[in-house]
Amino acid sequence: MPENASQPPPAADAPVMPLQGLRVVDVSSFLAGPFCSTQLAEFGAEVIKLELPVVGDPLRKFGSVHACGETLPWLSECRNKKLATLDLRKPEGAAILKRMCAEADVLVENFQPGTMERWGLGWDVMKEINPRLVMVRISGYGQTGPYSGRPGFGRIGNAFGGLSYLAGYPDRPPVTPGSATIPDYLAGLYGALGVMMALRARDITGRGQMIDIGLYEPIFRILDEIAPAYQTRGYVRERMGPGTVNVVPHSHYPTKDGRWVAIACTSDKIFARLAAAMGVPETAGEGKWGVVKQRDADRAAVDDFVAAWTGRFTRDEVLAVCEEAQVPCGPVYSIAEIFEDPQYAARGNIARVQDDRLGELAIPNVVPRLSDTPGAVKWLGPAMGAHNDEVYRGWLKLPDEEIARLTAAQVI
């Protein structure tokens, strides 16, 4: 158990969780920071999420509203957390956070750079309070650089990171690449990864550290060869619709029943399998499209040829032929089809969580899958201040009169 943790040990018959004993204080809002701490909570960390009294986290008002009064993103992405209210803008609220962080292992925040410093809660202060603390800081552009003071959201991260420029067709404006929240989720993912590495380093050095992530940085990181291709040959990749640079056929293709399949021929060998399955083996090998350079040079014709073939069959027929030939092929699914798919069911990818306020709610399950110490969804995003008593009376040992005074002053 980490040195700073003060939680009681789990019961002897309780399942082992890889992060049990880890205490995380989450003062972030909306999505990127909260997703970081959610992943830690899924694997056993005690996460205390703090939000403004009365007002609450903006995520409570973002997305579809359930009949219980909470939004679906809140219920899903605030899973497994203990909820308390605290106004960090007030000196007494900042002092309470310092008390918490003196005993915590991790602090997560995603305010605009300089905000925590104005409240007297910057990294320079927090590391003195607790030298073993790990502090995750997620912002639009990171804590440094000429743009660090600018506000940022996921859409800006997609645009500034280079992904939006690639999304869509070459003769049309750039589109949203799947979801405007991709940078938030990726930044949260990298934040959780950073926590794991920082805790491992702490095991060696005895010291915590600060993790600094700009929303655009995970986007830029995943754009495969785009940076070295530009640096070495001045190549600026343009929008390609569903196509993929350097390989073809590697796109989405229509089927006879009005559906779509994704086919990925990432090598000449795989294309040869597809060509044989299509009944045109002569186009592969020594044929006109046998090597990737030939196919890339004739990209439109190759894609049209494959589309004409898939268009003769239903989606399930194309999938069956490709599976038999060991050609990577998958359905382009809507969420309705995901709910009916046996692979999703067999893997338990959709968690169905019971909640006293709303009954059952289906949400994405925990990733990754650990064989011996798996994560779990224990509860959905709680009501505002649901754990105030546990945090302030149970953990910080504040007397009743002090809790009443702070509540009346809307500090908690």
pLDDT band at 4 (very low <50, low <70, confident <90, very high): very low
User: Angle at which helices 315-325 and 268-278 pack, to 10 degrees?
Assistant: 120
| DSSP H helical ranges for 119-267 | 123-129, 154-161, 182-205, 216-221, 226-233
Q: Which domains, from first to last, does the chain contain? A: 23-221+350-408 (3.40.50.10540), 250-254+260-331 (3.30.1540.10)
Residue 9: per-residue pLDDT: 53
Position 179, amino acid: S
Quote the strand ranges of 34-98, DSSP E: 46-51, 82-85
Residue 11: per-residue pLDDT: 57
Using one digit for the tens of pLDDT, what is the confidence trace for 337-379? 999 999 999 999 999 999 999 999 999 999 999 999 999 999 9
Using one digit for the tens of pLDDT, what is the confidence trace for 46-78? 999 999 999 999 999 999 999 888 999 999 999
Which residues 6+ apart lie within 8 Å of 38 measured at CB?
47, 77, 78, 79, 80, 81, 188
Share the mean pLDDT of the chain: 95
Choosing from 26, 184, 212, 303, the catalytic residue is: 184
75, 61 contact by CB (below 8 A): no
> Residue 389 catalytic?
no
Using one digit for the tens of pLDDT, what is the confidence trace for 114-131? 999 999 999 999 999 999
Using one digit for the tens of pLDDT, what is the confidence trace for 175-214? 999 999 999 999 999 999 999 999 999 999 999 999 999 9
Position 303, amino acid: D
pLDDT band at 14 (very low <50, low <70, confident <90, very high): confident
What pTM, to 2 d.p., does this model score? 0.93
